Amino acid sequence: MTAQQQEFVRIDSDFRSHGTRCAAWLYLPKGVTSPPIVIMAHGFAAERTFRLPPFAERFARAGMAVLLFDYRCFGDSDGQPRNLVNPFRHVQDWKAAITHVRALPGVDHNRIALWGTSFSGGHVVVAASRDPGIAAIVSQLPIMDSIPLFTRLGPREMVRASTAASRDVLRKLTLRSPYYIPALGDPGTMACITTPGAKAGYFSMIPEGSTWKNECPARIGFTLALYRPITTARGVKCPALIIMGEKDSLHPPAPIEKAASTMSRAEFIKLPVGPFDPYAGEWFEKTVELETRFLKKHLIEAR
């Protein structure tokens, strides 16, 4: 049986981050002793079920274990308020996931890779820069710097976002429920992401029967402005696969290229794709093949 034909089992493997349970699935390839492991998590305001299992399954069939988790306050994880997008908390969850994996029996604790996409594509850069024990990272169409996201906004949009964020923070300080805004919206509406086509593309990833709500606390308008993974990129010393979409209108390209250029062992690839193309169809197949080949090279063949 070849590596590509190997089957796997999936079991629950929850862990705690700052006292809150994070729901996680552990994929274990059959017939592999002490496999390397890839840790994965979802993008902005999403859940692990949003087209990430096909990636995890492909990696598992190639002989790697996978831990796929939901951040606190998302999906099957515990935590309040629900859908709280906070990149600094997300990175804490990555650290907790790494600690959890290093305590798991039956996997190789010296061969741990991080895989992130979109918002989590930046998180894996931050997490790896702080942990010299990470063996490799994959950063797929990442957000490397929040500053360009804000420069796209006009004065009217800035005022609306600041007002909504202030309202949410005030409600938090007075112990009231959050003020929510849509995570995705049409151009010109009040939402976190209003790039043309983004709402339809994002919704195409949501599985049938999902109970996910298109909302997040508006305080993200303040938190996001302080988040800049690009400033930590130089600290990533492990092999890194950085994938940028040439037709991607959602993730600013300049910070991605600059971040890759500052990493000592980065492999930078441009694909002629938009922000949602790698999750399904032909471009999923091409993207996951690139990533699988990279991960096998640095986690299995380099052993």
Q: Where are the domains of the chain?
A: 3-147+228-301
State mean pLDDT over 212-233. 94
What pLDDT does residue 5 have? 52
Instruction: Write phi, then psi, for 198 (nearest 5 degrees).
Output: -65, -40
SS3 44: coil
- The proportion of the chain whose per-residue pLDDT surpasses 70, expressed as a percent, equals 98
Identify which has the larger pLDDT, 48 or 151. Answer: 48
Half-sphere exposure of 162 (CA within 13 A, CB side): 8
| 51: its two tokens | 């087209």
Which pLDDT band holds residue 154 (cuts at 50, 70, 90)?
confident
Residues 51-63, mean pLDDT to the nearest whole number: 97
Asked if the bond preceding 207 is cis, omega within 30° of 0, the reply is no
Where residue 152 falls among pLDDT bands split at 50, 70, 90? confident
pLDDT of residue 6: 57
Over residues 7-36, the mean pLDDT reads 97
Q: Across residues 93-104, what is the average pLDDT?
A: 98
Confidence at 1, pLDDT banded by 50, 70, 90: very low
CB 292 within 8 A of CB 138: no
- Count Cβ atoms within 10 A of the Cβ of residue 89 and give its class: 0-12 exposed, 13-18 middle, 19 or more buried: middle
CB 36 within 8 A of CB 64: yes
* Mean pLDDT value of segment 281-293: 98
pTM for this entry:
0.95
**Cβ atoms within 10 A of the Cβ of 74, count?**
26
* 158 vs 232 pLDDT, higher one: 232
CA distance 130 to 284: 30
Q: How many CB atoms lie within 10 A of CB 198?
A: 22
Cα 168 to Cα 160, 176, 222, distances in angstroms: 12, 9, 10
Q: At what angle do helices 119-129 and 87-101 cross, to 10 degrees?
A: 60
**283: which residues sit within 8 A by CB, 6+ positions away?**
271, 273, 277
| Fold (CATH) for 3-147+228-301 | Rossmann fold (3.40.50)
| pLDDT tens, residue by residue, 170-205 | 999 999 999 999 999 999 899 999 999 999 999 999
| Tokens matching residue 31 | 């017939």
Look at residue 110 in the predicted model and tell me its pLDDT. Answer: 95
Which tokens in the block code for residue 195? 């790039």
Q: What is the mean pLDDT of residues 124-153?
A: 93
Q: Which of 222, 214, 81 is nearest to 161 (CA)?
A: 222
pLDDT band at 158 (very low <50, low <70, confident <90, very high): confident
pLDDT, position 3:
43
Mean pLDDT of the chain: 94
Of 185-189, 235-239, 242-246, least confident by mean pLDDT is 185-189
Rounded to the nearest 5°, which phi and psi values hold at 70?
-100, 140
What is the number of H-type helices and E-type strands within the chain?
A: 9, 12
Q: 241 pairs with which residues across the strands?
A: 138, 267
